[in-house]
Structures are given as structure tokens and as C-alpha cells.
Chain A
Amino acid sequence: MAKPSSHEINTPWYFWVDEKRRHNLLRVLEELSRVQNKPNPQFILIGALALLIRGILQYMVQWDIDLLFRNEEALSGFIAVEKSRDARIVHYDEHLMKGVEIASLHTAWSFDGTWFNVDYILKARTFQLYHSTVCNEGPFEECVNYEGSNYRLNLFMAHPWDIFIEKILSPRFQRELESRDWMSVDIRHVVTMLERDKGNDDFWQTTQAKIEHLGKKSVFKSHLLALLSSLPELGYRSVDMPEGLHERIRNF
């Protein structure tokens, strides 16, 4: 696994981004902070980048920015809003690509000649999953000083426990689990979060309350129990789960 030269524990999250694209990413996030409505956001930063920024993922790959929009109107408004003059935005898709459960528009943003993928996403009934938590928590704030440049980030960003729930409930997760796809990014992220929070009572209580509220208890339990029983086949032989965890999940 590629690692920056400094020790992992002290590594700022953006050091896990390809060095040539760090300034661009920070500039894109600053721009998104500027155009995001507050205190009632029209979009929320979700997915792997939210986990990276919170220090949960620590490895170097080509990260994308995933933005989950409240609805199609919010997405149209975001596309139309005036961006900084030095921003170049290219749409990979000709129009919003609509599936049964999800619609997306893939774009790339550039401020400095390098490009960062920004995916605009609409998912039925998913915005609310994140929205209540981010409104309670407030926006993520950080002032990043990198190589003499300052970037002010002030962005509503998904809570990792909500990301955990969304990934486990997704049809893609089920498919990747069934095919024992050990290169699945979603499975990797879920396992990482499980390793981190498996012994945390607050994590399990919050998760249980949320999936009950969503009315998704049986799907969640079945996907998560299937994951736990498939860990060795998926390549995660060294991941130990606490005794009684299966039972706890079954009793959700």
C-alpha cells in the first residue's frame, strides 16, 4: 500500500491525495464551501472522501468527491449558481443519468490544470438519512495551510456512521457481497469502519435506532450478518469481531 513518507498517525488527511492534485482538491472543497447553502444545505459531501477527511481511511488512491443533493431542483440550482472565474468544470455525462434508485452526473473540476472528479448524486430517500445528523453536527470546519496557501473549508459532510448504514443498505453492496468481490470499495470501507467502532456501544445504539427509523432493519441485518460470515472469503481474515456481535445484530 502506498504511504506518504511521514508517519501515518501524524499525516494530514490531504497527504493521502496524489501530491500533484492536492492544491486542486483543496481549492474545489473551498469553492464548494462557498456555494453551499448554510445552515440548510442543498447538498452534502458523502462517500469515501468524507471518510478520508475524518481520518478513517488512510491510503492513497484516486479519490472522487461525491455530492448528494436534496432533490433535482437543488441540483439544477447548484449547476446554475455562479462559480469562481478560475474554475473549469467539464461534464462527463451529457445529462443526468437516471437509474431506478439513483441518478448521477459525473463532472471534473479544475483550478490549476489538474482535474478532480466531482459526482453529483440523487438517491431516493437517502438525503434525509444524512441531513438530520449534519444539521445537528454543523458543518465541518478546517483551515488548511498547505505549501504557503490557505484554504478555508466549511462544508456539511456526512457522518461516518450514516455512511456505514447507507453502504450496507445499498443494492450494490449486496451484489458485491454475493459475488464475493474482494476489490469492492464499499466492502473495504464498511470493514474499516467496523474495525474502528465494533466495540463502541454508542455506535451500535445509534445505528440500531437509525435503521429502525428508516424501517430497514431486516435488510440491514441480513447484509451485515452476510458480510461478517464472509470476511475470510473476502480477504479480511485478520479482522476479529467481538464475541456476541452476531447475536447483538440478530437482536436488533
Chain B
Amino acid sequence: MSFRYEVRLSGAGGQGLILAGKVIAEAAAIYDNKTATQSQSYGPEARGGASRSEVIISDDVIDYPKAENLDFLLALTQEAADKYYKDLKKGGILLVDSQFVTHIPKGEFVVYQIPITETAKNVLGKALVANLVALGIFTSLSAVVSPKAIESAILSRVPKGTEELNLNAFRKGLELGRSSKSHG
């Protein structure tokens, strides 16, 4: 039986969520030999406005490309968590940035509260890589795309010379995801 995994990455413009969605789709479709669709919705010029990226991953044909019954929701802002948690399916995963999402919605899903942006800023020295930290956590928690495929997709998107910082951010996220899973 084929599987279908629906992901929504949500937050504000300028947080790199569209790119993160593309990386997940590229990892799945190009490097993990699955099928994937990726869509985006954002106020094109509104830094700080709402931003949303959706990815559907399957091992078969994707009959309908819109995400409606989420397996995984990343919310980097309180507004995004409040707006989208109802779209999570029973048993789905809600990952929130604990620095910005303090009121956790209630529902039949598993919640992970992790300091994503703080880790990017304090541990890696650049808040800009928060999306890569989030990608690492997503990869650990969902286990739907291989870490190797995500790393390949990241490397195809970054200039030479920035690989180390980008991969460090992703690997830090992987670690955070693994330790949260084992303590969860």
C-alpha cells in the first residue's frame, strides 16, 4: 500500500520556509527516489507577514497536490500554530519554536517544543540558518526522508565555501530531533 505524508512549514516571511520546503521536496524526489510536490503561499514582499510551504511525499503517484490532512506541522510563530494546528491528523507531529510559540494548542497530536531560532543564533552564530536547524529536526522526527538526501539537496543549493555552516546547522537539528524523540 502506498504512503502519503503531508508536511506544512509555517511562520513568517524571511524565515526561509519556502526554501526549506523545496529542499525537502528535492531530497525526496531527486535523491530518495520518491515522488513529491511542494507549494508555497506568502505575501511576496512582506517580511514578517505570514509564510507557508507545503510538501507532499509519496512512493506512488500523488493524485492531489494540496495538503489537507497534515502528518507534520512546523510552526515558527504563535500565529501559525494557532491557525494551522486543526489541520493536523490524529497522531501527527506539531513542532514549534519554543522561543516564539508559548501557548501550545491542544489536540490528538504529538508536540515537540524546541528552541530552533535560539539554537541557530547562539550555537551556530547565525539566526538565518534556523530553517536548516528545523530541517534537521523534521528529518529526525518524521523519518520520511533520509538525512543523506537532505544533505545532498542542501549542498545543491548553497555556494561553495558555505557548506560547513549549512551542514552543521542541519546536523545540529538532527541531534536535537533525535534527543527530543528519545525523551518524548
A interface residue numbers (CB < 8 A to B): 1-2, 18, 20-21, 59-62, 90, 92-93, 97, 99-102, 104, 106, 108, 110, 113-115, 117, 171-172, 175, 179-183, 185, 188, 191, 234-238
How many angstroms from the CA of A97 to the CA of B160 in the assembled complex? 35
Q: Which of A92, A115, A179, A191 contacts B41 (CB 8 A)?
A: A92
Known contacts A102-B45, A113-B61; is A234 also within 8 Å of B30 by CB?
A: no
Contact A62 B162 (CB under 8 A): no
Known contacts A61-B26, A62-B38, A108-B65; is A237 also within 8 Å of B161 by CB?
A: yes
Count residues of chain B with CB under 8 A from any CB of chain A. 38
Chain A at the B interface: mostly helix, strand, loop or mixed?
A: loop
Q: Which of B19, B29, B39, B62 contacts A106 (CB 8 A)?
A: B39
Q: Which of A59, A92, A114 contacts B39 (CB 8 A)?
A: A92
Residues of A within 8 A of B30 (CB): 2, 18, 60-62
How many angstroms from the CA of A237 to the CA of B160 in the assembled complex? 8
Q: B184 at interface (Cβ–Cβ under 8 A)?
A: no
Contact B43 A20 (CB under 8 A): no
Contact A59 B37 (CB under 8 A): no
Q: A1-B156, A106-B40 are in contact. List 8 more A-B contacts (CB 8 A).
A: A61-B30, A62-B25, A62-B38, A99-B43, A102-B44, A106-B39, A115-B65, A191-B159
Q: Which of A60, A175, A185, A235 contacts B160 (CB 8 A)?
A: A235
Contact B159 A182 (CB under 8 A): yes
Q: B14 at interface (Cβ–Cβ under 8 A)?
A: yes
B interface residue numbers (CB < 8 A to A): 14, 16, 19, 22, 25-26, 29-31, 35-41, 43-47, 61-66, 128, 152, 155-162, 166
Contact A99 B46 (CB under 8 A): yes
Residues of A within 8 A of B47 (CB): 175
Q: Which of B45, B62, B156 contacts A2 (CB 8 A)?
A: B156
Contact A61 B46 (CB under 8 A): no
Residues of B within 8 A of A234 (CB): 159
CB < 8 Å A-B pair total: 101
Contact B162 A182 (CB under 8 A): yes
Contact B128 A235 (CB under 8 A): no
Residues of B within 8 A of A92 (CB): 39-41, 65-66
Known contacts A61-B156, A115-B62, A234-B159; is A100 also within 8 Å of B45 by CB?
A: yes
Known contacts A183-B19, A235-B161; is A59 also within 8 Å of B156 by CB?
A: yes
Q: Which of A93, A179, A237 contacts B128 (CB 8 A)?
A: A179
Residues of B within 8 A of A181 (CB): 16, 128
Contact B37 A108 (CB under 8 A): yes
Q: Which of B25, B26, B45, B161 contacts A171 (CB 8 A)?
A: B45
Contact B43 A97 (CB under 8 A): yes
Contact A115 B37 (CB under 8 A): yes
Q: Which chain A residue shows the least CB distance to B26?
A: A62
Residues of A within 8 A of B156 (CB): 1-2, 59-61
Residues of B within 8 A of A104 (CB): 44
Residues of A within 8 A of B22 (CB): 61-62
Query: Can you list 7 pairs linking A and B with CB atoms under 8 Å apart?
Result: A2-B152, A61-B156, A100-B45, A102-B44, A183-B19, A183-B157, A238-B161
Residues of B within 8 A of A236 (CB): 159, 161
